[in-house]
Amino acid sequence: MITLMKRLWRDRRGNALIVAGACLPLIVGSVGLASDTVQWALWKRQLQRSADSAAIAGVYAIVDGKTVGNDCSNIAGATYANPVAWDVKTNNRLSQGNPTCTVSNPPSAGGYTSNSNAVRVTLSTQKVLAFSSMFMSAAPTITATATAAIVPTGKYCVIALEDGNETGIDATGSTTVNLGCGMITNATSMEAAVATGSSSVTASPIAAVGGIPASTHWGTGTVLQPFTVQQPDPFANVPTPTPSNCKKFNDWITTGENKTNKSATVDNPTGVICISGESGGSLAIQGDVTLAPGVYILDSTELKMDTNSASITCDGCTIILTGTPPKGVQITGGEVNMSAPDSGTYKGILFFQDRNAEVLNPVKINGNSDSYIEGALYFPQANLTYNGTSGQNTACMQLVTRQVTFTGNSDITNTCPPGSGSGSFDGQSIRLVE
């Protein structure tokens, strides 16, 4: 017996077994703690995702004119009327019920407490896990917080209002576009804004609700912002006047020997006149025409100039295209020297087309090297083709149209003279800020 005990005492395999048995609780405990830690980390990520989504949903609700409120406690019974709680309900990925939710608009803490367009959402959950509950008196509370807000994204002087699965901005051919500001389209296509051919586009940022294909034709340093928030129509609240007392164009000519649109100065003592087409609903500029400052309403009349020797000049005027139906502009030749008014209802607007115009009606505007254009070209339903020649002088020119195509050798800048009624538009986007 004594000999057997001595052999057992000297046996190393027995020692290893004892040591392994002593360490087994530590191994099992480490595995259990690691498993619980992974679960806590997963819940934290799921909560953060839900908080981020809910905060963004709250800001989108503000953009849509809805009330966010300061209560999202009723997640289970949430409806669209409570956008934050509804988003948490829809995007909750926790396996055991809904989290606790608090929302504040403006945020109750952080760097956006004075911003009424910011929403702060805090989600929390407390769940018992099998292993950690053996050593903890209470389960830890997991919390995630997110703040979203409307933030500026840049200055735009081209807005394409196309909101379908189409291309809203297209630079093609050998065009050279130098804006000094950005372009944005509401188009949802994966090719919402494109630059192809031999075009060269210097404009930043380039933004779209849809996608923007990468291209060597975007200028160096151009910031591309695909999948951004829709840009509102900046002139949506500008009224369309009702035509009245309309006369033929020649009846307004007060000077000039030839009354067939050759050379004439149109006097506008009342500030507003209504013109109807001479023939076929068209006002054809065939000579040198100067318009006094004011508002010119073209009733079911197209403005047309296709003669290289012709010109149209006005300083402080707005051309409004309305009627049944509203028509467009076809300037494919000649010299354009026009600037928008600096004050009044149509401040900063050079061309204004009725919103009831035919969808994607064609509008073409060219200008030679002696042309000057200052102001907004507002064609909310038109497919505008802009084809200017090199050296054309444009100041504060804004394009707000359904679709826009730059072709030829366009050269557009956006340097505004002091006191001008025109200027670029502020872009906006919804982002997580904290």
Q: Where are the domains of the chain?
A: 15-139, 154-432
The burial class, CB within 10 Å (0-12 / 13-18 / 19+), for 44 is middle
- pLDDT number for residue 52: 94
Residue type at 357 in one-letter notation: A
Q: Is the dihedral of CA 365, 366, 370, 374 positive or negative?
A: positive
- pLDDT number for residue 357: 94
Contact 192, 211 (CB under 8 A): yes
Contact 243, 297 (CB under 8 A): yes
Nearest to 339 by CA among 307, 317, 320, 309: 317
The gap from C-alpha 113 to its chain's centroid, in whole angstroms, comes to: 25
Helices (H), 64-107: 83-91
Assigned token pair, 171:
């630079």
How far apart CA 256 and CA 267 sit, in angstroms, is 12
Global model pTM greater than 0.85: no
- pLDDT number for residue 261: 47
- pLDDT number for residue 426: 79
How far apart CA 404 and CA 208 sit, in angstroms, is 13
Nearest to 114 by CA among 123, 105, 122: 105
How far apart CA 379 and CA 358 sit, in angstroms, is 11
- pLDDT number for residue 260: 46
- pLDDT number for residue 119: 94
CA separation, residue 121 to residues 216, 296, 389 (Å): 41, 52, 53
Residue ranges in the chain modelled with pLDDT below 70: 1, 4-36, 128-138, 252-265, 279, 367-369, 388-393, 409-423
How far apart CA 69 and CA 72 sit, in angstroms, is 8
How far apart CA 297 and CA 270 sit, in angstroms, is 13
- pLDDT number for residue 258: 46
- pLDDT number for residue 410: 63
Q: Is the dihedral of CA 76, 80, 86, 89 positive or negative?
A: positive
